[in-house]
Structure 1
């Protein structure tokens, strides 16, 4: 009996799971989901790739979880130790998870923000691409710094950290890391060539070729407008600060004055609620004694709405720092809507038993218009709150103050970390 079915296609996050099945010679069938669309959609309504359907109906999504599961199906203990780290070596295991998580979230998502506009797949907005390029170089510098002194990312041999990271770098080398970039990052190039030529990835990457020159902005650098519209200037897509986020809030650009507003929430017009004043007050003053009373005095439920936001797959979360990184990635991908939003989300619990929840205020009452700019927004459950109800008001205050445990199924769970969407 087969050990399972891996749904996988050309998308880069499917590369490593597919390679593991083949390299480890697992009894797992690989299938393009769009050739069996009805069955795939029934099994995985969110249609996320890769997805794994095990024997007896066991279902698994998210690349990191699937990678781990597939490796542990192998009977080769030496390979399992190499890829995942020894069972008694928690430092190496954690470093493998660290690099795998960084690659799967910030690295890949930022590469996409750079090359899709350059390809013309989404409208080209110079400021957005420049900001994403700057953040990408900060991520890349972490890899270059590590690999100047070490052959691999997490251990003395190729691990899952290297496989996932190299796979994500492929899209960079496909479109934006040209010859000059490679001269400036020799350690990454040496490592990348080593990893993709290893037995783990050699078959999957046999047709790979470096580009000489990176993609250039379309139309000689002019910004492309859908339907001849002038895009609104977007705020810089920075990672929200950690802890209680008491830094200065990011100043938002005003929407373009010409043409139809690009963001659907801009159609609601100006709000009487002073959002920037609120963000400054929240960042600079004590939350419960000062900021929250000011908020409730100025909050207008006709113009704004409050939402409880819960991660749907808490049972798949492992280390708390990885859960916090998940929030950070989600907030980064919401940058196009951030001028119409405020809120925070927290991680509660402990390693291998934690969850993600938060409270976010949005302009208007249609949450989809605010959140669907993030590709992973459907991984979250949204429940509208009513501030006239004491329990809903208390939930918002607790989520923004971080000074009380989260109540989950009647049990108090301590807040470990979190991020502020500002």
Structure 2
């Protein structure tokens, strides 16, 4: 009988736990997350996840790794991987935490932009890439003087960090990045040869060139061939019944406002492809027509019910998806500020016309948000709009500054 089940989904944090099980031939099944059991037992959908004997549940990769290492009966192996002294164990935890929180979180965000998984934001991508370089700098500062991250041997921290760095090279980093970091790759090549991860770090899949953002090409509208002119019909002896006309699809109520002189599409392209604060925003205020478009502060009404920041961001993404019928008349962004179990959603959205409801009420959950009209002639309102669209300054809530941790752009 199996001594448990590990749930993974092919992403970075599941690589090492699965490899430990397979290398040591532990009596633990490995399952993918696309099953009813995982959805039922782990509503937060955290990866990896583990169910052991007697209903023992684990999430968080560091906890899962610690548990799996302790399933090995060789005390010497456990001592090497987890640390032999209090100081060594503390260093192992330190570097595990560093690569799990600092590196992995920034990498996920950067990969999302580069791979087109989230709306492109040039400034945010540059910030995430710079932060990843900063993380590597911290690791290299250690590795210039020491062979490994935590101890004098390959520890669990090295194995986990190497699996994360290896995964990154299959998605966004190429040879140019490897050349820039010889210290890191002296360490990486040594650790990647360790039997625990040798079979799961496939260097043949590493990118030759680092990933660069490429704006999606616009598809040219296909012209429908002109319908042939009908031949004149012979006069009928008796009037035939006319077929019922197909009812026309109702137009969006904002269609009645007609074509605006301010080009929303030009603005969206400018925002997507130019630096937000120095280039895009000055262009916007030069061309914006307040008689054609209004701008609204949007606040989520139930911030006290929000928990994890990534879930708050998913909530925003779902709201924007449900606004798809109105997106041709809108632009804006909602950001998530704060931290896990203490966060909120706020933003600024521009809509065609002077009322918010015709644009927003296509989404079933639109009433979960409060809408306040902004006046860009007021300096504080204009600055709020700039901050919400640039994402480069904290959000001030009740006089307290809260850092922006994530967000979505509606465009």
State TM-score, norm by structure 1: 0.58
Deviation at 1:55, TM superposition (A): 1.0
**Equivalent residue, structure 1, for 2:20:** 20
**Equivalent residue, structure 2, for 1:171:** 167
Preserved contact between residue 92 and residue 154 of structure 1 (Cα < 8 Å): yes
Out of 30, 35, 38, the residue aligned to residue 36 of structure 2 is 38
Q: Quick one: distance in 1 between partners of 2:202 and 2:336?
A: 46
**Equivalent residue, structure 2, for 1:323:** none
CA distance 1:363–1:213, change in 2 (3 Å): closer
Deviation at 1:175, TM superposition (A): 3.5
Deviation at 1:188, TM superposition (A): 0.7
> In terms of mean alpha carbon deviation, does 100-109 or 156-165 score higher?
100-109
**Equivalent residue, structure 2, for 1:414:** none
Matches within 5 A, 1:208-287: 208-218=204-214, 222=215, 229-230=268-269, 257=284, 269-271=295-297
Match of 1:194, SS?
helix
CA distance 1:367–1:29, change in 2 (3 Å): farther
Q: Which has the larger radius of gyration?
A: 2
Q: Quick one: distance in 2 between partners of 1:268 and 1:157?
A: 62
Deviation at 1:166, TM superposition (A): 0.9
Q: Quick one: distance in 1 between partners of 2:336 and 2:199?
A: 46
Deviation at 1:76, TM superposition (A): 1.3
Deviation at 1:119, TM superposition (A): 3.0
Match of 1:121, SS?
coil
1:421 matched to 2:403? The reply is yes
1:149-187 deviations in whole A, cap 9, x for unaligned?
111100011111111111111232224332232222111
Q: Quick one: distance in 1 between partners of 2:333 and 2:192?
A: 41
Deviation at 1:123, TM superposition (A): 3.5
1:255-279 deviations in whole A, cap 9, x for unaligned?
9959xxxxxxxx99434xxxxxxxx
CA distance 1:148–1:366, change in 2 (3 Å): farther
Q: Quick one: distance in 2 between partners of 1:169 and 1:367?
A: 43
Deviation at 1:53, TM superposition (A): 0.9
Deviation at 1:310, TM superposition (A): 7.2
**Equivalent residue, structure 2, for 1:53:** 51
CA distance 1:69–1:309, change in 2 (3 Å): farther
Deviation at 1:69, TM superposition (A): 1.0
1:99-136 deviations in whole A, cap 9, x for unaligned?
11121222122223333333333343332222221111
Q: Quick one: distance in 2 between partners of 1:304 and 1:32?
A: 34
CA distance 1:114–1:358, change in 2 (3 Å): closer
User: Structure 2 regions of 5+ residues with no counterpart?
Assistant: 220-264, 286-292, 321-331, 349-364, 371-396, 405-411
Q: Quick one: distance in 1 between partners of 2:367 and 2:270?
A: 22
1:102 matched to 2:98? The reply is yes
Out of 111, 116, 121, the residue aligned to residue 117 of structure 2 is 121
Q: Quick one: distance in 2 between partners of 1:176 and 1:359?
A: 30
Deviation at 1:206, TM superposition (A): 4.3
Deviation at 1:225, TM superposition (A): 9.1
User: Structure 1 regions of 5+ residues with no counterpart?
Assistant: 237-249, 259-266, 272-301, 313-326, 346-355, 371-395, 402-418
Match of 2:296, SS?
coil
Q: Quick one: distance in 1 between partners of 2:141 and 2:312?
A: 26
Deviation at 1:367, TM superposition (A): 11
1:92 matched to 2:88? The reply is yes
Matches within 5 A, 1:139-178: 139-178=135-174
Deviation at 1:192, TM superposition (A): 0.9
Deviation at 1:141, TM superposition (A): 0.7
Deviation at 1:202, TM superposition (A): 1.0
CA distance 1:208–1:164, change in 2 (3 Å): farther
Preserved contact between residue 341 and residue 363 of structure 1 (Cα < 8 Å): yes
- How many aligned positions are there? 296
Q: Quick one: distance in 2 between partners of 1:209 and 1:224?
A: 27
Q: Quick one: distance in 1 between partners of 2:148 and 2:315?
A: 33
Preserved contact between residue 114 and residue 213 of structure 2 (Cα < 8 Å): yes
Preserved contact between residue 176 and residue 210 of structure 2 (Cα < 8 Å): no
Q: Quick one: distance in 2 between partners of 1:92 and 1:141?
A: 22
Out of 60, 82, 86, the residue aligned to residue 80 of structure 2 is 82
Matches within 5 A, 1:345-356: none
1:329-376 deviations in whole A, cap 9, x for unaligned?
99999999998568655xxxxxxxxxx753647469979989xxxxxx
Deviation at 1:212, TM superposition (A): 2.5
Q: Quick one: distance in 1 between partners of 2:270 and 2:203?
A: 38
